[in-house]
Chain A
């Protein structure tokens, strides 16, 4: 007799803020088992966790806390080292703190702060914020993408961005990719051990975005 085990592969955290359908559909398209949950008790035995999000930092953090996810994510990260992928606001909330609207403490998985994109270029020209555009991945020097969520991707591939704030990461070691906003360069993806964050939306970034999700759920 076979033993029924939890076939749960990817758990997407629902804290009331985002368009979860698109990210769910993207994993389904890849043939992955995916579960959306607003129950913090359901992430303990997950094999992969996705923290999505659209909206303002303090609001996101308070919604996570309201549902018990804030502490449980820290707990799971510490105890199980489950691979976690933060997307957009989900990525930003993994940092030490955010400066959107008011100073707010983040999950603190990655050292750094969330600050507003500069509306002015080095040459004084104005640039449009929010940054709603396709941007290219830049691979930092000496950073290998082997064995990371970018293992199927190449530098210069395009990802879809929608944001007004960005992750000002403290340690260059954590930076997985950079992207240009005008002549300003920001961290578009980071990684520290099992923790991944992407500022762009892989689920909205055509086939090259899906490759990242495929790598994330791969062994």
Chain B
């Protein structure tokens, strides 16, 4: 069963969208967006906090809490989580999972700790992958701005060995371009580990979901959903036509 996930990048309680994780544009109040996705059969919602300040973390908690009043599908929250305590705050606010990138690269022990405290299913390792050579990617931190120097494949292996239960894999190169996903990246990561892989970055049309799901377990979509260039229903219909099992009810 493959999943269609809505990715909502958040800045100060507003939905935003950029290109290559930069050049953000404000789209407004996230509520009408998440309500629309819920009513149209989204399988999961991922919030990514684009500026991880103390102030923003509080507003993110409020947003997650508000979402759980109306949305009864899993919610993942990422962005700026640096400690077990901060992960716990998000889970208490209604998140089902936390996605951690920078905090885990700077302190890989955080993965182990979060998995130990809340279970591997809560601990999503978020990877921002930038291609540096054919079939070679480097893990970026601080919202795709800075290289960590870590090889993505090696880092994914370590993260899973430490207890990460799922991988949220963003292609920095393809993010916001709507030109299709980095299939070589998705394939390479999916083949390296046995945990579910959520592919993100570059979705342009429903067929991109079908292509990515050859390896990925889920695709996270932002821009094309926010700008209503693709609907959840048409993506799922196309998936079913291509013998990809998805949750679908007319």
Report the minimal beta-carbon distance from A127 to chain B, rounded to whole angstroms: 9
Contact A26/B92 with A128-B195, A206-B41 known, Cβ cut-off 8 Å: no
Stretch with Cβ within 8 A of A (4 or more), from B19-27, B65-73, B142-150, B173-181: B65-73
- Answer whether residue A86 sits at the interface, using C-beta atoms and an 8 A cutoff: no
- Answer whether residue A160 sits at the interface, using C-beta atoms and an 8 A cutoff: yes
* Per-residue contact bits, chain B 33-52, to A (CB 8 Å; 1 contact, 0 not): 00000100101000000000
Sampled A-B contacts (9; CB under 8 Å):
A22-B72, A129-B194, A132-B165, A157-B249, A158-B247, A160-B73, A204-B74, A205-B72, A210-B72
* Per-residue contact bits, chain A 105-140, to B (CB 8 Å; 1 contact, 0 not): 000000000000001000000101110111100000
Contact A134/B3 with A21-B65, A128-B194, A160-B74 known, Cβ cut-off 8 Å: yes
| Cα separation A133 to B202 with both chains bound (whole Å) | 23
B positions within 8 Å CB-CB of A = 1, 3, 38, 41, 43, 65, 68-70, 72-74, 91-96, 118-122, 165-166, 194-196, 217, 247, 249
Assess whether B119 is in contact with A56, with CB atoms less than 8 Å apart.
Answer: yes
Contact A54/B121 with A134-B247, A204-B72 known, Cβ cut-off 8 Å: yes
Given A21-B93, A22-B94, A206-B73, 18 other A-B contacts at CB below 8 A? A19-B91, A21-B94, A22-B68, A25-B68, A54-B119, A119-B194, A128-B196, A133-B217, A134-B3, A134-B247, A157-B249, A158-B249, A162-B74, A162-B96, A164-B121, A201-B74, A204-B73, A210-B72
Residues of chain B within 8 A of A208, CB atoms compared: 249
Assess whether A207 is in contact with B72, with CB atoms less than 8 Å apart.
Answer: yes
| Cα separation A205 to B44 with both chains bound (whole Å) | 10
| Cα separation A205 to B1 with both chains bound (whole Å) | 14
| Cα separation A128 to B194 with both chains bound (whole Å) | 5
Residues of chain A within 8 A of B122, CB atoms compared: 54
Report the minimal beta-carbon distance from A103 to chain B, rounded to whole angstroms: 20
| Cα separation A132 to B196 with both chains bound (whole Å) | 8
Q: Which residue of A lies closest to B246 (CB)?
A: A134
Report the minimal beta-carbon distance from A160 to chain B, rounded to whole angstroms: 6
Contact A130/B121 with A206-B41, A206-B72 known, Cβ cut-off 8 Å: yes
Residues of chain A within 8 A of B1, CB atoms compared: 133-135, 158
Residues of chain B within 8 A of A209, CB atoms compared: 72
Residues of chain A within 8 A of B38, CB atoms compared: 206
Contact A19/B72 with A54-B119, A132-B121, A158-B247 known, Cβ cut-off 8 Å: no
Assess whether B72 is in contact with A29, with CB atoms less than 8 Å apart.
Answer: yes
- Answer whether residue A155 sits at the interface, using C-beta atoms and an 8 A cutoff: no
| Cα separation A207 to B73 with both chains bound (whole Å) | 9
Contact A22/B96 with A135-B1, A160-B74, A203-B72 known, Cβ cut-off 8 Å: yes
Assess whether A54 is in contact with B72, with CB atoms less than 8 Å apart.
Answer: no
| Cα separation A80 to B70 with both chains bound (whole Å) | 34
